[in-house]
């Protein structure tokens, strides 16, 4: 299964729900999809990874690239609903220190409100 991305709003935040797998076979496509989503006037994003089953180092690069793009536009983002397996990948690669991870979508919304104030 490849990746699937859905976008919706919660309050003033753009939620990007990522499902499936992001690895070397589809990371370029995922990056293109994400870049299209980020090409708007929104600055504040929540990446909901509740349906992400697998991520490789190529997939992590997709999120690092998105992170730079968001920060270059003076925005912010958090990641939520990360499975234990995906969290372990973030931990092993040191990205737990780079990204803000929240347990639930509600917690992510509250964290974003705090970051925006």
Which pLDDT belongs to residue 41?
A: 84
Contact 55, 85 (CB under 8 A): no
First-to-last alpha carbon distance for the chain, in angstroms, is 39
pTM of the model: 0.95
Convert the pLDDT of each residue in 64-83 to its tens digit: 999 999 999 999 999 999 99
Pairing label, strands 13-22, 4-10: antiparallel
| Mean pLDDT of the chain, nearest integer | 95
Question: What band does 1 get if pLDDT is binned at 50, 70 and 90?
Answer: low
The residue segments making up the domain with residue 75 are 4-116
Q: Which two tokens stand for residue 83?
A: 């499975």
Domain count, the chain: 1
Convert the pLDDT of each residue in 17-44 to its tens digit: 999 999 999 999 999 999 999 998 899 9
Helix H or strand E segment including 104: none
The domain that contains 103 carries what CATH number?
3.30.750.24
Which pLDDT belongs to residue 71?
A: 93
Residue 66's closest CA among 16, 104, 114?
16
Which pLDDT belongs to residue 2?
A: 87
Task: Please determine, for residue 114, whether its predicted confidence score (pLDDT) is greater than 90.
Answer: yes
Mean pLDDT within 98-114 = 96
Residue 76's closest CA among 13, 10, 11?
13
Task: Please determine, for residue 85, whether its predicted confidence score (pLDDT) is greater than 70.
Answer: yes
């Amino acid at each position: 299964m490849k990746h699937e991305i859905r976008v919706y709003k919660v309050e003033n935040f753009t939620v990007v729900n990522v499902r499936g797998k992001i690895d070397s076979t589809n990371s370029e496509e995922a990056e293109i999809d994400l870049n299209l989503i980020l090409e708007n006037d929104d600055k504040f994003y929540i990446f909901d990874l509740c349906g992400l089953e697998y991520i490789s180092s190529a997939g992590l690069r997709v999120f690092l690239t998105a992170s730079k793009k968001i920060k270059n536009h003076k925005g912010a983002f958090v990641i939520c609903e990360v499975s234990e397996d995906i969290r372990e990948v973030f931990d092993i690669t040191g990205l737990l220190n780079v990204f803000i991870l929240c347990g639930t979508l509600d917690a992510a919304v509250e964290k974003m409100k705090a970051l925006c104030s």
